[in-house]
Amino acid sequence: MRKFILVYNPISGDASFKFKLDNVIEAFQKKDCIIIPLRVSNEQESDTFIMLVKEIVVDGIIVSGGDGTIHSVINNMLRHEVDLPLGIIPSGTSNDFAAYLQLDKNIDTCVETITKGQRKRIDVGRVNDEYFFNVASAGLMTSVAHNADSMLKNTLGKIAYYLKGLGELPNFKALKMRIITEQQILEEDIFLFLIMNSGTVGGFPNLVPHAKIDDGKLDVLIVKKCNLPELMSLFISFLKGIHCNSRYVTCLQAETIYIECAEEVESDLDGELGPKLPLSVTILPRKISVFCS
């Protein structure tokens, strides 16, 4: 029988996964798989599963939660050089990466995907001494994920982020940043930059249509300074998927990126608080293995 550690966050999304845990274990047992559940709700607890991996031989790690929970697990895996396939059961407020991989929230479908055993090796980004699997960003909207009320997020999901972001627009100022890649140097007053592994960020699919998670490249989207009406119009363009046509948007690909800013600016990694600028970003090609359909 195969054996998996199931790392789950009891407060992710609508916090309902913990009530489905027995059904999940039963579904895996019907597929001749033993599940070892591990409850994780903070960073200290997330370290515990590494200790468990070192004590027990398992065939993979399954994560139930949102992008933040996956981010924590992947960082722990890479820091401790754990190379086990990762299964995902989307159950968070933000499930961008699962959406990009077209992973269903339905438990039975997730179990089928994981137990079938088909895998894909995907790239991972490294920022200073941390890792991200989907997106690194700074600027407008970056603080939204950290400041939006948790009850509001659980009730309204992505809408909570957008409402919070729209409220910040009138007071937000552009930041003078220097962005260096292996091919060019950009010095711009910008509102936001996104360094993406997949093309799905913040619930927006195909922000960069050609982005692939196994191409050894990072896709960078930069939103340059503009006035408030233009910024509001640009936000609508993002919703419609026509933002790449705007003169205020720059898209590029790179393997290494260095970003600095004279002001103190915090970054965001997969919806979690990241290091302050400057950032040294590199791509780690096909670094981890993920169960997918």
- Write down the mean pLDDT value for the chain: 86
pLDDT at 155 over 90: no
Report which secondary-structure segment, H or E, holds 246. Answer: none
Q: pLDDT above 90 covers what percent of the chain? A: 52
Best-predicted range by mean pLDDT (15-29, 134-148, 157-171, 252-266): 252-266
Which of 189, 204, 197 lies closest to 253, judged by CA? Answer: 197
How does residue 10 score in pLDDT terms, banded at 50, 70 and 90? confident
| Eight-class DSSP state of 278 | P
pLDDT tens-digit map of 47-97: 677 888 888 899 999 999 888 889 999 999 999 999 999 999 988 777 888
Q: Give the residue among 118, 125, 52, 96 at the shortest CA–CA distance from 291.
A: 118
Model confidence at 149: pLDDT above 70: no
d(CA 220, CA 204): 15
Query: Helix, strand, or coil here: 115?
Result: helix
> Each residue of 211-237: b (16+ CB within 10 Å) or e?
bebebebbbbbbbbebeeeebeebbeb
Cα gap 49→47, rounded to integer Å: 6
> How far apart are the C-alpha atoms of 88 and 290, rounded to whole Å?
8
**271-283 pLDDT tens trace:** 899 999 999 999 9
Q: What are phi and psi of 62, to 5 degrees?
A: -110, 135
Among the listed ranges 8-22, 94-108, 149-163, which one has the minimum average pLDDT value? 149-163
Please give the structure tokens belonging to residue 61.
Answer: 């790690």
For 136, phi then psi, to 5°, come to -120, 135
| Token representation of residue 118 | 């088909």
What is the per-residue pLDDT for 70?
A: 92
Give the model's pLDDT for residue 152.
47
Using pLDDT thresholds of 50, 70 and 90, give the confidence band for residue 150: low
CA 177/CA 197 separation, integer angstroms = 21
For the chain, domains (ranges, CATH) are 2-117 (3.40.50.10330), 130-286 (2.60.200.40)
Q: Positive or negative CA dihedral for 72, 177, 149, 13?
A: negative
Check whether 146 has a pLDDT greater than 60. no
The predicted-structure confidence for 175-217, as pLDDT tens digits, reads as follows 999 999 999 999 999 999 999 999 888 777 778 878 899 999 9
87-120: pLDDT as tens digits = 999 887 778 888 888 888 889 999 999 999 899 9
Task: Report the C-alpha gap between 118 and 100 in whole angstroms.
Answer: 17
Report angle CA 203, 124, 143 to the nearest 5 degrees: 45
CB 221 within 8 A of CB 253: no
- Which residues sit opposite 280 in a β-bridge? 258
pLDDT value at residue 162? 57
Predicted pLDDT at 236: 78
- pLDDT (tens digit, 9 = 90+) per residue, 238-272? 766 778 778 889 999 999 999 999 899 999 999 89
Distance from C-alpha of 273 to C-alpha of 290, rounded to nearest angstrom: 24
What's residue 243's pLDDT? 80
The set of catalytic residues is 272
